[in-house]
Amino acid sequence: MTTDKTMLRVLAGETLETPPIWMMRQAGRYLPEYKATRAQAGDFLSLCYNPELAAEVTLQPIRRYGFDAAILFADILLVPQALGADVWFVTGEGPRLSTITSADDFGKLGPVADIDETLSPIYETIKILKSELPAETTLIGFAGAPWTVATYMIAGRGTPDQGPAHALMMENPAVFDALIDRITEATIHYLSAQISAGAEVVKLFDSWAGSLSGEAFLKYSLAPAKRIISALKAKHPNTPIIAFPRGGGDLNIGFAKATGADCIAIDQFTDADWAAKHVQCDGPVQGNLAPGHMVTGGQALVDEVKRIKKAFANGPHIFNLGHGITPDADPDNVQRMIDALRD
């Protein structure tokens, strides 16, 4: 592959002395410029659906820090909304959705063919970004994985243990499976449209994969990821795909081979030396600094960056956090992380 984009080089299997870096949730409430643009948009969903402003907040961390990749500003809960769920955000609390607990509720969802009526502004954001991003910056599109998105659609909110989704899986498997299937089809359509609009990499966030175990993990995290990735590869063979089965632990072993993902994002609860040996042996990995270091900083931050860089130094590695940066993070610590990595 002939490209100057370090992120794409690593995703093609190259090992670089200084890994490319970007950060989950790099556009967000820890940045004063984000808060200002969000206030201008009115609320979070209006910001997501305003291509000019969504492109602006995507670019803010690139301007401030020169990250090697930009991630499209949107949310995983736009897909439920596009399928007909009610979605709103309660300030200081988080997302709220209409719930799905019966065949009747499921029956109210719309067809995948209609989702672009809601999602077309997102493709516009990507087109704006393609013309405004620096030549060396890779543009990442994304979606939530079916299980993670289903946990919000079933419970109507974020839940600590995904209890309502597990309950529906046990009590009404037909509705549960139909919901996973609908989200899977919508995700294939949505990510394919993001790639057609100009996303150079896509990432599938299975943020709650860790609450699935054994058969359920294979059926509801691995199998949908495999189906999404093989459908995308059939249409867009050259677009790399990052999978993030967060909390997967040992189940990260072989996940790339089993699903066709080009890269596995590793959370902060997974030891970097272990991941180098058992996951990076199969291909590129991304991760895995604990986001808390963006709050606490100091020498511990620098030491951790260097430890993780060293652990993954013998194979393709994209530096990132193990999960999203939190709103209480100090923007100066982000710069310290980048300096420690590029030192």
Q: How far apart are CA 264 and CA 242, in angstroms?
A: 6
**The token pair that represents 186 in the structure block:** 């919508």
Select the residue interacting with ligand 1CP from 77, 197, 202, 264 (CB under 6 A): 77
Tell me which of 15, 16, 33, 44 binds ligand 1CP, using CB under 6 A: 44
Asked if residue 28 binds ligand 1CP (CB under 6 A), the reply is: yes
* Residues present in the chain in total: 343
Q: Which two tokens stand for residue 123?
A: 């493709």
Q: How far apart are CA 168 and CA 136, in angstroms?
A: 45
**Residues of span 167-206 touching ligand 1CP by CB under 6 A:** 205
Closest contact distance (angstroms) between CB of 323 and ligand 1CP is 6
User: Do you find a cis peptide bond into 50, omega within 30 degrees of 0?
Assistant: no
- Calculate ∠ Cα 20-25-26, nearest 5°: 55
Q: Which two tokens stand for residue 21?
A: 């870096």
Orientation angle between helical segments 331-342 and 51-65, nearest 10 degrees: 50
Contact call for residue 321 and ligand 1CP (CB under 6 A): no
Active site (annotated) includes residue 227 = no
Is 307 part of the annotated catalytic residue set? no
Sole window of 12-20, 74-82, 171-179, 291-299 interacting with ligand 1CP (rule: CB under 6 A): 74-82
State yes or no: residue 292 binds ligand 1CP (CB under 6 A). no
Q: Segment contacting ligand 1CP (CB under 6 A): 26-34, 109-117, 261-269, 287-295? A: 26-34
Q: Give the residue, chosen from 6, 81, 207, 270, that forms a contact with ligand 1CP under the rule CB under 6 A.
A: 207
Among 9, 38, 189, 317, binds ligand 1CP (CB under 6 A): 38
Residue 71 interacting with ligand 1CP (CB under 6 A) = yes
Identify the residue among 9, 25, 182, 309 touching ligand 1CP (CB under 6 A). 25
Tokens (6 digits) for 32: 């004063």
Q: Which contiguous run of DSSP H or E holds residue 31?
A: none
Q: At what angle do helices 173-197 and 146-155 cross, to 10 degrees?
A: 120
Our finding on whether 95 is near ligand 1CP (CB under 6 A) is yes
Q: Which stretch binds ligand 1CP (CB under 6 A): 19-27, 112-120, 127-135, 275-283?
A: 19-27
3-state secondary structure 244-304: EECCCHHHHCCHHHHHCCCEEECCCCCCHHHHHHHCHHHCCEEEEECCCHHHHCHHHHHHH
Q: Who contacts 65 (Cβ-Cβ below 8 Å, separation ≥6)?
A: 26, 334, 335, 338
Q: Does 26 bind ligand 1CP (CB under 6 A)?
A: yes
Least distance to ligand 1CP, CB of residue 91, Å: 7
Helices 173-197, 116-132: axis angle to 10 degrees equals 30
341 binds ligand 1CP (CB under 6 A): no
Which is nearer to ligand 1CP, 276 or 289 (by Cβ)?
Answer: 289
152 is catalytic: yes
Point out the catalytic residue in the list 30, 34, 68, 75. Answer: 75
Closer Cβ to ligand 1CP, 276 or 294, answer by number:
294
Catalytic residues: 25, 29, 38, 75, 152
Residues that bind ligand 1CP (CB under 6 A): 25-29, 38, 44, 71, 73, 75-77, 94-95, 142, 144, 158, 205, 207, 324
